[in-house]
Every structure is written in C-alpha cells, then in structure tokens.
C-alpha cells in the first residue's frame, strides 16, 4: 500500500457508537479494548529528537497485549521511510506502511483535483516533495515553472526564498494547499513555530485562503484505519484542535496525553469537538484502566476520591472527599472531575476559574499548572 491511495470513509465498526466520553472512562486498559492505536508523533511518541520517557516500553507492552499501532502525523517534513527509521532508532519498531503523513494526504488530494502529472511547487522539508512524486505529480522548483498548485508543509529549513516563491505562484493562480495549520510544534525548549505560522505568511501576502488537508480532516485517520483494518481504533494525541477533533470527525475514540502542547487549562476550556474520551500523562495510559466520572446532583462531579463542584457562577471548587494525602491511580482523577464540572456548566466551552477547598486540592491544582484560588 502507498500513501498516494486516497482514503475512504472510516469503517462502520469505528463509528460514533464507540465514543464513550470522559465520564464513562474505561474499566479495562484501552490496549485491551481497542484493536489499533492511531498515534500522533510529535508530543506523543517523541519530543524533538528524543522519545517521551517510558513511551517506547509502553507501546511494546500494548503490542504484546494485541494492540496494533499506526503513526499519523501532521508533520510533513520527512518521508515515511525516514519517520519509520527514526521510530526504530527510538525503540518503537515501525515500517513505512504504518506511517501516514500530512504530506501524503495533501499529495492525494492534489492528485485527485488536478490529475497525475500536474506541476506542483513544494514548500517544506524533503517529505513534501517525496509525497508529491509518489502520488505521480511533477515537482517544480520555482514559480516561473508554472505550478498548478503549491503544497506547503513543515520544514526546519523553510525561509524567505521558499515563501517568496510560494507567494508568487499563488498570486499567479496556483492553488495553495497546506498540509496542516498547526501554529506550534513541541520541543524540549517549549513550543516553537509550526507550519501554520508559515502558512499564514503566504496566505496574508498572497491574499488567498489555503486548502488544508491534514488533521483534523478525517482523511488521514481514515487511511490509517484502512491500512490496519481497525474495527475499534483509538486516536492518541496531544492536540485538541487536530488529534481530538480529528478523532471526533473520523468517528473514533480519543486519548489525550499531556506530554506535548495541551495542558489542563486548555482542556478545561475545550468546546465539544475538542473533548477527549480519555486523558493520561502520556501514552502509558494505554495500559491502565480509566475511572469513570459520576455526577450526583448535576453540580458536583466525583472521580475516585475527588469531587468538583460547579455552581451557577464563580470558580469551580475541587476537594478531596476521603482519606489523607495521595491519589491512587494516575493522579488525574481530580482533573477528570473538574473537566466534567466545567463542561456541564459551559456546554460550548469557556475558561473557568478553579479554587481549592483544602491543602491536598491546592497541591493537585499546582501539579496541573492550574491557579488555586
């Protein structure tokens, strides 16, 4: 199979009936419930050149339990062969056919619109041009070569010269296609400019809105489902606006991890398309059960030994309901309760204030980077 094959719809078995929502949790580890994990890479499997600590071992255990892995990345800089090689170097065995990049999705879309052989100007890392060639498109180097489309993806070497060629080509009538519009990418130094920042340069100067083909468009996840034959896929990602929304649009369940760009404050403010089914510190969450969240009177939500209360107005309140220090499980039960309280009070999403009812709650909020009031 090749990345140039257009993705079809997600199979019926991966449809909307399999999204339980954060309140339901998962009584069994997700690796035992879902047959395939569709893993984002940046911020999930690795940050920069290095693996997220513990994740290669966790993915190995998930495979031992029968879960298959697919790798779905909005980063278009590298071809699948190079991505698979990097994963192998990090201790995550992978082959190119298990990797779906946004460059492949863009190339499929352009080939479908313009036909094979169409002239296309790539902007980005080597993965962009490689995907275009694999889809049967003709790669050109300048605006003067008469490209019918510009495909723009992330590349660390992208600079003024490439952006200028893209602007001229788009002004001359070329279709502007962006592999993704992620504003940032995670790094050991914190978030850095992503492809979306460069796409905005071309959009603003050329005055033309790009066609965006990467996540959250469901084509990438659908293609990975097709390749793996998944019946119960689980999208594992670190971004609300691409991974979680993409899972919703593809009819798949989602696991949000905090090893990349999303933090608890962003999660609490999430609107309905950006609310995951499960949360975890990292991809090790595939291996453990996830507790449910219950709401007794509609204003108070409980998870484990934590309760979160949301009145009609004012801050949400978190308190420990029993025992002394310590939170059994993964340490996120209180955050799960806070999420349901926040989402119940603000169905469309908004940034809530949070206060602690006791010292233990104050320490928990500090650990999640939430200001305790």
pLDDT at site 6: 38
DSSP secondary-structure letter at 243? I
pLDDT at site 3: 35
pLDDT at site 151: 98
Percentage of residues in the chain with pLDDT exceeding 90? 74
Rounded Cα–Cα distance for residues 200 and 263 (Å): 25
Please, where in the chain does CATH 3.30.300.290 lie? 294-367
Structure tokens belonging to residue 49: 């050149």
CATH homologous superfamily for the domain 12-74+216-287:
HAD superfamily/HAD-like (3.40.50.1000)
Taking residue 79's Cβ as centre, other Cβ atoms within 10 Å add up to 24
**Annotation says 277 is catalytic:** no
**Annotation says 42 is catalytic:** yes
pLDDT at site 129: 96
pLDDT at site 15: 40
**177 strand-pairing partners:** 151, 211
Q: What is the pTM of this model?
A: 0.84
With a cut of 70, say whether residue 4 has pLDDT above it: no
Span 123-147, pLDDT tens digits: 999 999 999 999 999 999 999 999 9
CA angle 118, 120, 123 (to 5 degrees): 165
Span 259-306, pLDDT tens digits: 999 999 999 999 999 999 999 999 999 999 999 999 866 689 999 999
Please, where in the chain does CATH 3.40.50.1000 lie? 12-74+216-287, 103-212
Does domain 103-212 sit in CATH 3.40.50.1000? yes
Assign residue 102 a region: left if phi > 0, alpha if psi is -120 to 50, beta otherwise?
alpha
Rounded Cα–Cα distance for residues 14 and 34 (Å): 10
The full length of the chain comes to: 373
pLDDT at site 282: 98
Q: What is the mean pLDDT of residues 164-170?
A: 98
Cβ 70 vs Cβ 38: under 8 Å: yes
Cβ 341 vs Cβ 316: under 8 Å: yes
Q: Report the chain's mean pLDDT, rounded to a whole number.
A: 90
**49 strand-pairing partners:** none
Rounded Cα–Cα distance for residues 96 and 79 (Å): 9
Q: What is the mean pLDDT of residues 188-196?
A: 90
Task: Kindly report the CATH number that applies to the domain delimited by 294-367.
Answer: 3.30.300.290
Span 325-356, pLDDT tens digits: 545 678 999 999 999 999 998 888 888 899 99
Span 103-123, pLDDT tens digits: 998 998 999 999 999 999 999
Rounded Cα–Cα distance for residues 227 and 57 (Å): 24
**Which range has the worst mean pLDDT, 64-68, 184-188, 228-232?**
184-188
């Amino acid at each position: 199979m090749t990345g140039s094959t257009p993705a079809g719809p997600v199979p019926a078995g991966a449809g909307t009936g399999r999204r339980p929502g954060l309140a339901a949790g998962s009584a069994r580890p997700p690796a035992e419930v879902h047959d395939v994990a569709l893993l984002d890479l940046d911020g999930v499997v690795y940050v920069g050149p290095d693996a997220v600590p513990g994740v290669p071992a966790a993915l190995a255990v998930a495979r031992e339990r029968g879960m298959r892995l697919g790798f779905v990345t909005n980063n278009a800089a590298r071809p699948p062969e190079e991505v698979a090689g990097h994963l192998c170097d990090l201790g995550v065995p992978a082959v190119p056919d298990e990797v779906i990049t946004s460059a492949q999705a863009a190339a499929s879309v352009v080939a479908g619109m313009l036909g094979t052989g169409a002239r296309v100007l790539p902007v980005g890392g080597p993965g962009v041009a490689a995907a275009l060639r694999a889809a049967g498109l003709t790669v050109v180097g300048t605006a003067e070569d008469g490209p019918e489309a510009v495909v723009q993806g992330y590349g660390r070497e992208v600079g003024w010269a490439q952006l200028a060629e893209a602007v001229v080509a788009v002004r001359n009538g070329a279709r502007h296609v962006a592999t993704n519009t992620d504003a940032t990418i995670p790094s050991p130094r914190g978030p850095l400019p992503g492809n979306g920042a460069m796409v905005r340069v071309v959009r603003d100067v050329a005055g033309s809105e790009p066609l965006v083909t990467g996540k959250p468009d469901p084509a990438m996840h659908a293609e990975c489902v097709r390749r793996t034959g998944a019946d119960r896929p689980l999208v594992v990602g670190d971004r609300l606006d691409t991974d979680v929304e993409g899972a919703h649009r593809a009819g798949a369940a989602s696991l949000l991890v905090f090893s990349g760009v999303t933090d608890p404050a962003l999660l609490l403010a999430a609107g309905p398309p950006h609310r995951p089914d499960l949360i975890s510190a990292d991809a090790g969450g595939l291996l453990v059960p996830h507790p449910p969240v219950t709401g007794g009177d509609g204003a108070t939500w409980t998870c484990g030994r934590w309760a979160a209360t949301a009145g009609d107005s004012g801050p949400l309140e978190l308190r420990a309901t029993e025992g002394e220090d310590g939170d059994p499980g993964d340490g996120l039960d209180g955050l799960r309760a806070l999420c349901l309280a926040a989402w119940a009070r603000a169905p469309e999403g908004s940034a809530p204030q949070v206060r602690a009812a006791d010292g233990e709650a104050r320490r928990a909020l500090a650990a999640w980077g939430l200001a305790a009031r």
